[in-house]
Amino acid sequence: MQDSSVTFIGLGAMGEPMASSVLRSGVALTVYNRSRERAAPLAAAGAKVADSVAAAVTPGGVVITMLANDAALLDVTLGGSGVADRLGAGGLHISMSTVSPETSRHLAAEHAKRGSLWLSAPVFGRPEAAAAQKLWICQSGTAEAKARAKPLLEAMGQAIHDFGEEPGAANVVKLSGNFLILSAVEAMAEALTLAEKSGIDRQALAGFLGQTIFNCPIYQNYGRILAAQTYEPAGFKLELGMKDVRLVRDAAESATVPMPLADLLHARLLTSLAKGRGQLDWTAIEMVSAEDAGKRA
């Protein structure tokens, strides 16, 4: 089924370029964001801007959400005049947020009660990848939901990877990936600090590693940020990184999986938040390594 009209809710650093990609694919797009000014570029490009969630959603249509956390997603979906009740029978809700698997399971069940479909479709990639339609998209949900969502996901990403029908599966994949990314950031931060204190140029080391034994996007892209120690503007805010690590630890506890490295990352992020760094890029956990080594005041 090719949907002629779509709603996109959540126009943050990731949501705005993702919504722009959907709009460029040729569908009639309605957008909603709590801060209306975030919708201005999309309005200029031809999107309709709604004044409320209820006004944004077409019964039986498609809604894509890209929201900051579980609480925001639950409120937008199940709150008064929320997505679930407004969407109703025949609708599809594609959630692209990084949220807990439990939240996805709960919302999938709520949509099913109303005769609508749910698809978990979190993404990997920073805002620049979203703008270039180069996101990696994970999905889990029913075959019907996947078939209907496919052209929209293809408009936003370079590939879609399927993880079955269980609604929370894609969220576990996303949390696992974010855990690995931040683990790599911490490892690079420690290695670069060691190099710097040993008289080796940080950028030379990051460049060498990214071109040789760690020749992959995570070490190349994050290595450049860490080498230059440029943590503003944030591609992904540190405070959101803490949210994700909390979700990882919650999922690990639920599955009785010890994750001692996740505990270390939680401590790094908590220290960073205590120092007022929540609005910096999450790579700013490097600053704690530098401080521990006497390289920062």
DSSP codes, 98-141:
---HHHHHHHHHHHHHTT-EEEE--EE--HHHHHTT-EEEEEEE
Q: Judge contact between 147 and 141, C-beta under 8 A.
A: no
Domains of the chain listed by start with CATH number: 5-164 (3.40.50.720), 172-292 (1.10.1040.10)
Q: Judge contact between 120 and 167, C-beta under 8 A.
A: yes
Active site residues: 174
User: Per residue in 86-107, is it b (16+ CB within 10 Å) or e — as a string?
Assistant: bbbeebbbbbbbbbbbbbbbbb
Q: How confident is the model at residue 181 (pLDDT cuts 50, 70, 90)?
A: very high
Task: Compute how many other C-beta atoms are within 10 angstroms of the C-beta atom of residue 205.
Answer: 19
Q: How confident is the model at residue 85 (pLDDT cuts 50, 70, 90)?
A: very high
pTM of the prediction? 0.95
Q: Judge contact between 91 and 64, C-beta under 8 A.
A: no
For the residues 69-89, what does the mean pLDDT come to? 96
Q: How confident is the model at residue 297 (pLDDT cuts 50, 70, 90)?
A: low
At 34-67, the pLDDT tens digits run 999 999 999 999 999 999 999 999 999 999 999 9
Check whether 1 has a pLDDT greater than 50. no
Alpha-carbon torsion (48, 149, 109, 262), positive or negative: negative
At 230-239, the pLDDT tens digits run 999 999 999 9
Question: For residue 110, what pLDDT is reported?
Answer: 98
Q: What is the dihedral of CA 120, 126, 130, 135, to 10 degrees?
A: -50
Between the two ends of the chain, the Cα-to-Cα distance in Å is 58
Are β-strands 5-9 and 28-32 bridged in parallel, bridged antiparallel, or unpaired?
Answer: parallel
Question: For residue 48, what pLDDT is reported?
Answer: 97
